[in-house]
Structure 1
Amino acid sequence: MTNNLLGIHHVTAMTDNAMRNYKFFTDVLGMRLVKKTVNQDDIQTYHTFFADDVGSPGTDMTFFDFPNNPKGTPGTNSISRTGFRVPNDAALKYYLERFSEYGVENDGIQELFGKKVLPFQESDGQRYQLFSDETNKGVAPGTPWKNGPVPEDKAIYGLGPIEITVSYFDDFKKMLSEVYGMKPIIEEDNVTLFDIGEGGNGGQVILRKDDTTPGRQGFGQVHHVSFRLKDHDAIKKWEANYNKLEIQHSGIVDRFYFEALYTRIGHILIELSTDGPGFMGDEPYETLGEKLSIPPFLEPKREYIEGQIRPFNTKRSK
């Protein structure tokens, strides 16, 4: 079995308003927009990437802005909550006060698997939680946004544990263990915490059992989760592994910023992505995310694309 996953690569969700979502992630959460591009499979749709200071793998939360997309509903058989990492417990208190200032709905600071967490949600219903790295070990974090509105010693600097909720708990648990090589480290009634790679907050999945109403895809819900692979050789091995196990998949897709390989396990779309080439190759560090960035193979269609999408201003440099 190939089990060389390094941790979480990114999470992609759906928004109903790219501008509102941009303001929430940059002005409130203090994450940097490192790429404003389009969905390569639906070029009339924005694809925005929020990450750390330099767009490190394992730090980016991305969004599709599908026109006329209905509102989704939370429920089972879905990726039910996305985690983010902050440096310590003091950072959670900082964000709790910040959420009060900006009117962000939250559940207050709690404890989960021995860690301090702060669950909250965006106005469209998208569900998140902050994880304190106070006692964390494992996958290294990224670099806080140096010119962001949140102090560097408090700011979000990576993705945290991803929560998946399914009705077919035992079958899904077996797939995570036997196919993806994830290690169960805490097992309680109807919930298992898995480590990926070096583990810790940057390499964990929370799997929950829920036999109630299924969730419905739409804005305010997660589209897919991606796990990290080192390079092209690693993703080729996974392609071969899927073939050997007779798991249907997309084949390797060149996304320009990384290579990707997709499959669906039950209702859950799982992507495997390479760490590189990354987001720094086509824009200067100082102005990341300020212009519409289009991969070279789509450049001939730039005029058409710019005529279709709704422009919004993301310029922050002076």
Structure 2
Amino acid sequence: MYTIPGHHHISMLTKDAQINHRFYRQVLGLRRVKKTVNQDNPSMYHLFYGDLTGSAGTELSFFEMPNAGKTVRGTNAITQIGLLVPSYESLIFWKNRFELWNVDHGEITKYVGRDALHFEDPEGLRLVLLNHDGAEIPDNWSAWEGSDVEQEHRILGMGTVEITVRNLERLAKVLRNLFGYTEVSRSMDEAVYQSVAGEALGEIVIKRQEGASERPGRGSIHHLAIRVKNEEELRYWDKVVKEHGFHSTGVVDRFYFQSLYFRDLNGILFEIATDGPGFTVDSTVEELGQALDLPPFLEERREEIEAKLAPID
């Protein structure tokens, strides 16, 4: 019986890769660990940010869609991303930094029992910094020393992810019965589930909300990927997903990891992704995120692909 050790990555839409890079690199101090393309549509960038090597659990990824309109917020969508920071003092640091950079943000408050600071990126993507309160971080996370942010306040990795749906129990059953997440709290309109007891790194908050479904656009969240160790475990989960009556894509080779995709009955798109081989499979650690990297099956189309992409830093 395999278990889910936490989030793997989360993927969003951006209208402008250059603005996106400047915010996540300069303001949030994350490392761009891979500049590649959407493998299903190579005309658009796919950017990944994270720690030193883009370890599983630290990755924020963005598909560039220059024609993306404004997100019309609603239900049946992944609606907020939590990012862990070391301490309460870190939240004060980030509040001051956001004021300096004119980032839209709130006051320090509480969210799912943790000290929190809500903010939005330039395209309206909702994020929240969460106090990790000095707790131990996963062995596979490695700090990037090239960050502009002071070491004691740097973003560590992904924390609580919020999903808003009309039918809370449909999603709760997927987390509880299919993946073995533990329910840690429950009310009429909110439930909190953890893949690792007491840890935010695999935590999902389900919120119940009636109304129209979200219409995606710039700053919307496309899917959440949860983490498995290797292809053997992935094939196990592929079988389990199908046994629970969901349609699975089957195992897809994404070169940097293996994955599969399915939707719950609310239409939420999940990916299950392996830890490896990782972003250093075609780059040195020092050169990560600098050149345009393409998976081998797209390499012969490099000239055509590069001609359609606007240069970014």
Both proteins in one fold, TM over 0.5? yes
Equivalent runs, 1:257-272 vs 2, <5 Å: 257-265=256-264, 266-272=266-272
2:153 is the counterpart of 1:163: no
User: Does the aligned pair in 2 maintain the 1:139–1:203 contact within 8 Å?
Assistant: no
The Cα shift of 1:72 comes to 1.4
For the aligned residues, what is the CA RMSD? 1.5
Aligned partner of 2:274 in structure 1 is 274
Looking at structure 2, the residues matched to 232 and 277 of structure 1 have their Cα atoms a distance apart, in angstroms, of: 10
Aligned partner of 1:316 in structure 2 is none
Instruction: Give the alignment's TM-score, normalised by structure 1.
Output: 0.94
User: Does the aligned pair in 2 maintain the 1:3–1:181 contact within 8 Å?
Assistant: no
Change (3 A) 1:138 1:154: closer
Equivalent runs, 1:49-88 vs 2, <5 Å: 49-88=48-87
What letter corresponds to residue 282 of structure 1 in structure 2? D
Aligned partner of 1:308 in structure 2 is 308
SS of 2:200's equivalent in the other structure is coil
The Cα shift of 1:199 comes to 4.8
Equivalent runs, 1:1-318 vs 2, <5 Å: 4-134=3-133, 136=135, 142-265=141-264, 266-313=266-313
What letter corresponds to residue 269 of structure 1 in structure 2? L
SS of 1:285's equivalent in the other structure is coil
The Cα shift of 1:197 comes to 3.2
Instruction: Give the alignment's TM-score, normalised by structure 2.
Output: 0.96
Looking at structure 2, the residues matched to 74 and 156 of structure 1 have their Cα atoms a distance apart, in angstroms, of: 26
User: Does the aligned pair in 1 maintain the 2:182–2:197 contact within 8 Å?
Assistant: no
User: Does the aligned pair in 2 maintain the 1:15–1:21 contact within 8 Å?
Assistant: yes
User: Does the aligned pair in 2 maintain the 1:124–1:219 contact within 8 Å?
Assistant: yes
What stretches of structure 2 of length at least 5 have no aligned partner?
A: none
Identity within the alignment, %: 34
SS of 1:215's equivalent in the other structure is coil
SS of 1:280's equivalent in the other structure is helix
What letter corresponds to residue 284 of structure 2 in structure 1? P
Looking at structure 1, the residues matched to 96 and 102 of structure 2 have their Cα atoms a distance apart, in angstroms, of: 10
The Cα shift of 1:241 comes to 1.4
Of 280-289 and 10-19, the range deviating more from structure 2? 280-289
SS of 1:90's equivalent in the other structure is helix
